[in-house]
Every structure is written in C-alpha cells, then in structure tokens.
Amino acid sequence: MQNNTTTGIIGFGSYIPSNRIAASTISLTNPHSPPPGVVSKSAPDPDEDAVTMGIEAAHVALSKGNISPSAIQSVFVGSESHPYAVKPSATIIAHALGIGPWYMAADTQFACKAGTAALQFTLGLVKSGMIATGMAIGSDTAQAAPGDVLEYTAGAGAAAIILGSDPHKIIATIDQTLSFSSDTPDFWRRPGEEHPQHAGRFTAGPSYFHHVVSCGKRLLEISELQPQDFTYLVLHQPNLKFPQKAAAMLGFTPGQLEASLLVREIGNCYAASSMLALCSALGKAKPGEKVFMVSFGSGAGSDGFILTKM
C-alpha cells in the first residue's frame, strides 16, 4: 500500500505488568533449556487480562496525544487471549475509555500479528476519509503449556496506537505498508483447548524467517530505500535469536535493532510484541529518522511498515 495523503500516528502508549518471572525459576520445572538471552518474562496480576491491559495502554496513548476519547471513531483490538470467545474486547475497552457510541469496533485474530492487522485496518479507514481518528490495540496475556519451551517467553503486555490525518498532531507518518501471507500451520489452538500447539522447528524457516524476510525485502524494494536509510528496525520477537538473525538477513545492523529489543526482559507478548517494540523505537526516535517494521503472526503472515518521525 502506497500512501498518497499524510496519515500517521497521533498518539501511542504501552503497558507492561510489573511482575517478572525469571528464566532460571522456570528452568526448575521445565525440561527445556532457557532460550539464549532471555532473562525473564512479564506476568499479569490475577485480575489482569487483554482488556484491562489494553485500557491502560490506550489511556497512555490518549494522554500523550492530548486526544479526547470522543474523537475516536474506531477501536480494533488484536489478541490471542480475548477474555470472551463471543463478546468483543473492543467495546469493553471503548466503554471504559469513554468512547462512543458512534464508533466502529471489532476484535482481530491473526496470532502475533493481530495487533498490526488492526493497525492496517485503522490506517485504511483514516486514509480513505471514512474516519478522522482511530485506535489500534495489540494486547495479550500470552499462554504456553507447562513444560513447553514457550513457557520461558510467554509474556504479557499491551500497546495502543492512535492514527489521524491532522498534520499538526502527527507524531510519525506511516509512509508505506504491505503484507505477505500464506497458509502455513506452524502454531494453532483448537476450540476448547487451553494451550496452543506448535510445530517445533517448522516455526522457524518456513514460518518466521520466510514471512518476515520476504515481507521486509519486498518493502525495501517498492520503497526504493536501503537498510542504511533507517535508524530503527522493529521486528516481532518470539525470542532473541530470531529477530537478530532476520535483521542480518535483511541487511540491517545489530544497532538498528537494539533500541526495540524488549524480549530479554518481558518475553514474547504475542499480539503486543512488535507494537510494544514500535512504541519503544518511536519514544527514542528524533525528527526525520525512519523506522522499518515487520511483524509476524503464525498461520502465517507478516505486515510491513515504513514510518518517519516528525
């Protein structure tokens, strides 16, 4: 997708529970070795879920952007851990924030890229002129079966991004976006199952790396930009090794990735992972600096974005 009119971020916010579980603690009962470089993961309080964390992140985004809840015309929430199978998280969050009743609302599901899918939907609505301001949220209390290797990284957190077209309010423009998708069954959970299942090493080459690198290379190609044109690289972070290897495959340096590497301390926050990393990069970026972002969701697909800090 090539943007012809200015559309961008006018507010962003994140929320990460303060609780941490050390990898060394998990290893006392988990038969797998801890993933290299992952020290701990975030863990929600008993009364926290994808909705409550989404509300916290959205509060920050509204406050940072000095945006009235009444201005929000759409709320899309991406998650793998919506508290209800049939009852939207989006309307609960919107009601708690004082949004409505005249707004679009929906929950999105595409594994760990459900949040960036929500961001693309919002971008399309704002860019088309159907709405002036919309909010996209990625929020998850990530889940893993006891004893599974994913237990080391299944973290919790939320990120909210508000898009608008008022040039006086835009913090960062979204210059381009595209997606790369396929039917690749690397990670799934059937109805009624408590924990997801995954296809082991199949989640690496045919899934994460194929989609992230293919999406990233195509985005560089159509933008006619080079890795050195970007200050920050944001990738989905299921562990520390995958984004580091993908960065190298795309031609980026470790320094371009470092500012957004949150997985060491908070683990993989699933639908919030790449959006939290984007919030981290935007918080450090200076005017004129560019951000290159590629998310990933099992099943499988990647969303790519090029942003410029204003």
Distance, in Å, from the CA atom of 41 to the CA atom of 3, rounded to the nearest integer, reads 37
Burial zone of 124 (CB within 10 Å; 0-12 exposed, 13-18 middle, 19+ buried): middle
Residue type, 161: I
Q: Quick one: which of 24, 91, 3, 93 has its CA closest to 52?
A: 93
Task: Name the residue among 12, 61, 296 with its Cα closest to residue 172.
Answer: 12
Pairwise CA distance, residues 128 & 201, whole Å: 41
Cβ count within 10 A of residue 204: 16
- N-to-C CA span, the chain: 21
Cα atoms found within 13 Å of the Cα of residue 251, Cβ hemisphere only = 13
Q: Which amino acid is at 149?
A: V
Give alpha helix (H) positions in the chain. 23-26, 50-65, 89-97, 114-128, 210-223, 241-250, 254-258, 263-266, 273-284
Question: On the CB side of 24, how many CA atoms lie within 13 Å of its CA?
Answer: 1
80 catalytically annotated: yes
Q: Quick check: is 236 catalytic?
A: yes
Residues 168, 172, 173, 174, Cα dihedral to 10°: -150
- Catalytic hit among 80, 211, 215, 269: 80
- Active-site position among 82, 198, 211, 236: 236
Residues annotated as part of the active site: 80, 112, 236
